[in-house]
Amino acid sequence: MSVSFGLAVENFTPGPREPSTDAMVSYATRAEQLGFRSLWAWDHLFLGARRPFPFHEALTTLTVLSAHTRDVLLGTGVLVLPIREPAVLAKVTGTLQIASGGRLVLGMAAGWYEREFDATGVQFKGRGRTFERNLEILYRLWGEDGVTGEYDHVRLRNVRMLPLPRPRPKVLIGGYVDRVLKRVAIRGDGWLTYFYTADSFSRAWTKIRGFAEEAGRDPDQLSNVAQLPLCIADSYEEGDALVRRYIDDYFDMAAWSESTPDSAIRGTPEQCAEQLSAHVEAGAQHLVFAPFEYRLEQIERFAAEVWPLLQAAPAGSVR
């Protein structure tokens, strides 16, 4: 078994601070130098009212980072698909896939922030169906030279959206409830999850693999990404206190999911390595960290102090 590592980028911040493109570029280039395999941008048009969270748009952010990196994968964690017009999205993502040399990975989900749906004129109720419709249109526009079909208000009349991205962007579907896990197994290339403990991850991943088998798909062809908070500190107690404050400042936990601050990787390098080993044993293939306050010191410490411990572990190879 092998596992690889990636990093979330700070394309949003709690107000009144704002994200910095220069800081994200410096962070991304250093991450690639250290051997991280992917960079992930969060996706919202806007978030928060009385307490706003200033956001840089995810695909624009990844386009900038693609120009400053060579090999790392570029992912969305996750793109809110129903509020994106699918033909425009197919062109934007197809172009980014080609320009980046095939490095785009699209984590996608149905979304939860109703104000974004209202602002884009998309029905919040029925967003799961809209997700599936938009995904079908994306697959066809990425893969077919000449697309004809009607999807609600969308009419495609022998559309030739060239050049076709080869290969098409990989699609990881985010979500938690069984109907979404079935969607992962049937319609996606894999699953992306958010702040799950190893036990929660293992239970859901086992379900996805079972649903894939029932649908006649090879579950070994599916991949997964687990997003986790990270705080390397001089003690477990210090890391736990810091990472809980950080999570409270930056992130929400969906009440209908098993996402929890308890998923955080925190403590000494040895404790972090032990916690990560549990995720590897649970079946996680690619671990993406949201490091404490996006500090470069955290990713430097991970590369220097945690990674060697994992590489020396007998459970498998870590790259």
pTM of this structure: 0.95
Task: Write out pLDDT tens, residues 150-207.
Answer: 999 999 999 999 999 999 999 999 999 999 999 999 999 999 999 999 999 999 999 9
Between CA 267 and CA 270 the distance in angstroms is 8
pLDDT attached to residue 292: 98
Mean pLDDT of 138-150: 98
pLDDT attached to residue 254: 80
Mean pLDDT estimate for the chain: 95
pLDDT attached to residue 313: 61
Mean pLDDT of 84-104: 98
Mean pLDDT of 94-107: 98
Structural domains in the chain plus CATH codes:
2-318 (3.20.20.30)
Task: Write out pLDDT tens, residues 27-82.
Answer: 999 999 999 999 999 999 999 878 899 999 999 999 999 999 999 999 999 999 99
Mean pLDDT of 208-225: 98
pLDDT interval class at 290 (50, 70, 90): very high
Q: Is the per-residue pLDDT at 121 higher than 70?
A: yes
Phi and psi (nearest 5°) for 304? -85, -30
pLDDT attached to residue 79: 98
Task: Write out pLDDT tens, residues 252-282.
Answer: 888 888 999 999 999 999 999 999 999 999 9
